[in-house]
Structure 1
Amino acid sequence: MDRYQAMATFVRVVETGSFSAAARQLSVGQPAVSKTIAQLENILQVSLLLRSTHGLSPTEAGLRYYERARVAIREADEAELAARGAGSGLTGRLRVSAATTFARLHIVPHLPRFLAEHPELDIDVILDDRMIDLVAEGVDLSLRMGALADSAAVARKLATGGRSVLATPAYLERAGEPQSPADLAEHQAVVFSQQPDVWSFTRDGAQVSVAVHGRVRLSAAEGVRAAVLAHMGITIASDWMFTEELATGAVRKVLGDWHLPMIDLWAVFPTGRMASAKGRLFASFVETVMAEGRGGHSGY
């Protein structure tokens, strides 16, 4: 039995809570996972898992082994990374979760460069605007924007971007350009359902909040983009969402003398397990990509 592989299998079982979920993530059959755990328990002469109708949980001995195994796997990954020269030559599969629109505009176009640098590495990109369970989905890192709901999350800030009130010139010509936040109450707002209907602005230390209304409410950022570009209304969005349109003038900023909170881009790693070398490397790559964008015309 491969001791390292057995440790990795056990760690995955503990983190997913079942043999079947661990088998899916490891791309092996469930019987193989069960056999590996049984062999490991036989070698160690202890019971590592409690089995019940509610699933699997580590015994006291299993929890101690799990904590040490996580450290051993991390150190082995880092040793391999160092031996290969600061991350070159990574192999295997990297699973990344990201918001659909942000990934389409700012991540996917740069993947050829990353893949060329690591020809033996494959990437699964899960495009979803919702928060997903990183451990259950076997995700190495998630790219998320805004405030983190989980204060205990293992996260690294990669970039900070602006937010603006945006509309197309055609909409502004038809509806008029707002001169103050209060004017937004008279406009059709394109509302992103994951954000509040009250928009807050600051200027010279003063804060103003405006309740906006709109006939169009969308659950995904991609829909917000489409509605704005169809001249359906005015919205608040990160400048990242309309990078090219802001550069070409297809979308304009209004109320530029009022300030909105900045938005942060985070790399979030699965809670309860060490960040993989592949995940850390990809986070650094995204950080570099976003920094390069600030130096160009992309409006970051």
Structure 2
Amino acid sequence: MDRLQAMIVFVRVLEAGSFSGAARVLGVGQPAVSKTVAQLEQRLNVKLLLRSTHGLTPTEAGLRFYERARLAIQEADEAELAARGAGGGLSGRLRISAAPTFARLHVIPHLPQFLEAHPGLDVDVVLDDRMIDLIAEGIDISLRLGKLADTGAVARKLASSRCSVLATAEYLTQKGRPQVPADLADHETIVYTQLDNVWKFRREGTEVSVMIHGRARFSAAEGIRAAVLADMGLTIASDWMFAPELANNRVLRLLESWSLPDTDLWAVFPTGRLATAKARLFAKFVESVMKESH
């Protein structure tokens, strides 16, 4: 039995909470995962997991082994990284999660460059606007936008984007252009349900809050984009969300003398786990891409 591989399997089982979850993360069959854990327990001559109809529970020995094993895996990653120099020759699987719209516009177009630099590396990209459980899904790094709900998260800010009130030129031709925040009450507003429906504007030390009651509400950013581009109304969004349309003036910024809070891009790593060398390198890659293109 490959000792390091057995450690990786066991760590993934514990973090996923099931053999099937670990199998999905590792890209292998569930029987192979179960067999590896059973062989590991036989070799160590100790029970690592208690199996029941309610799931898997680590024994005291299993918890001790988990803590040592994940550190050993991290050390092995670091050793390979140091030997290969500057992250060259990374291999294995990297699981990334990101918001679909942001990933489609700013990450996926650059993935060929990252993969070309690391031909031994495979990537799984999980696209979801919602906050997902990184450990349960076996995610190595999550790219998240805005404020972090989990203040205890292991995270690093990669970039920031200006936020503005945005609308298409066609919509403004039909409905007119708001001159002050209060004018937004006379416009169709497109609401992103995962954000606060109070828009706070600042100018020269003055803050104005506007309560938004949009008729069109969307739970995903891609819906916001589609609605704005269909000339349905105006919205508040980061420049990232409408980068192509801002560049060709199809979408315009409004109330530019007023400022809104910036949107931050974060690299978030699973709490309780050391960030892998692959995840840290990908975070640096995304950071460099955002600096170069914006």
TM tier, shorter chain?
over 0.9
Residue 125, structure 1, aligned to residue 112, structure 2 = no
1:273 aligns with 273
Is the CA contact 1:141–1:270 (under 8 Å) kept in the aligned structure 2? yes
C-alpha deviation, 1:272, in angstroms: 2.5
Q: Does 1:9 align with 2:6?
A: no
Residue identity matched to 2:143: L
Give 2:58's aligned residue.
58
Give distance in 1, aligned partners of 2:248 and 2:32: 56
1:149-168 to 2 correspondences below 5 Å:
149-168=149-168
What is the CA–CA distance in structure 1 between the aligned matches of 2:243 and 2:24, rounded to whole Å? 38
Alignment correspondent of 1:231: 231
Question: For the residues of structure 2 that align with 1:27 and 1:198, how far apart are their CA atoms?
Answer: 43
Task: List alignment gaps of at least 5 residues for structure 2.
Answer: none
Report 1:1-300 matches (<5 A): 1-294=1-294
Contact 2:99–2:128 (8 Å) recurs in 1:
yes
User: What is the rounded CA distance, in whole Å, between the counterparts of 1:175 and 1:251 in structure 2?
Assistant: 14
Deviation, structure 1 residue 222: 1.2
* Aligned-residue offset at 1:51: 2.1
Separation (CA, whole Å) in 2 of partners of 1:50 and 1:151: 32
Q: Deviations over 1:138-187 (max 9, x none)?
A: 22111110111111211111111110001112211221111111111111
Shift in Å at residue 15 of structure 1?
A: 0.6
- Deviations 1:20-44, CA, capped at 9 Å, x for gaps: 2212222333332222222222222
Larger deviation, residues 68-77 vs 37-46: 37-46
Specify the SS of the correspondent of 1:123: strand
| CA shift for structure 1 position 68 | 1.0
Structure 1: state its 5+ residue gaps.
295-300
> How far apart in 2 are the matches of 1:115 and 1:16?
26
Task: Number of aligned residue pairs: give it.
Answer: 294
Displacement of 1:81: 1.1
Using the alignment, how far apart are the partners of 2:33 and 2:20 within structure 1? Answer: 8
Please give the secondary structure, in 2, of the residue aligned with 1:214. coil
CA-based RMSD: 1.4
2:47 aligned partner, one-letter code: S
Q: Is the 8 A contact 2:143 2:265 kept in 1?
A: yes
Greater alpha carbon shift after TM alignment, 284-293 vs 264-273: 264-273
AA aligned opposite 2:188: Q
Say which SS state the counterpart of residue 126 (structure 2) adopts: strand
Aligned partner of residue 39 in structure 2, secondary structure: helix
SS, match of residue 189 in structure 2: strand
Secondary structure (helix, strand or coil) at the match of 1:227 reads helix
Q: Which moved more, 1:139-148 or 1:26-35?
A: 26-35
Cα distance in 1 for residues equivalent to 2:212 and 2:17? 44
How far apart in 1 are the matches of 2:14 and 2:123?
A: 24
Q: How much identity, in percent, do the aligned residues show?
A: 70
Cα distance in 2 between the residues matched to 1:128 and 1:225: 16
CA distance in 2, matches of 1:153, 1:43: 36
Describe the shift of the 1:29–1:245 C-alpha distance in structure 2 as closer, same or farther (beyond 3 A): closer
Give 1:45 shift.
2.6
Distance in 1 (CA, whole Å) between partners of 2:11 and 2:291 is 35
- Helix, strand or coil at the partner of 2:241: helix
Residue identity matched to 1:290? M
Residue 298 of structure 1 corresponds to which residue in structure 2? Answer: none
Q: CA deviation at 1:9?
A: 1.1
- Alpha-carbon displacement from aligned partner over 1:191-224 (angstroms, at most 9, x marks no partner): 1121122211111222111112322112211111
Q: Is the CA contact 2:101–2:222 (under 8 Å) kept in the aligned structure 1? A: yes
C-alpha displacement of 1:99: 0.7
Q: Secondary structure at the match of 1:249?
A: coil
1:11 alignment partner AA:
V
SS in 1 for 2:214: strand
- Deviation, 1:233, is 0.6
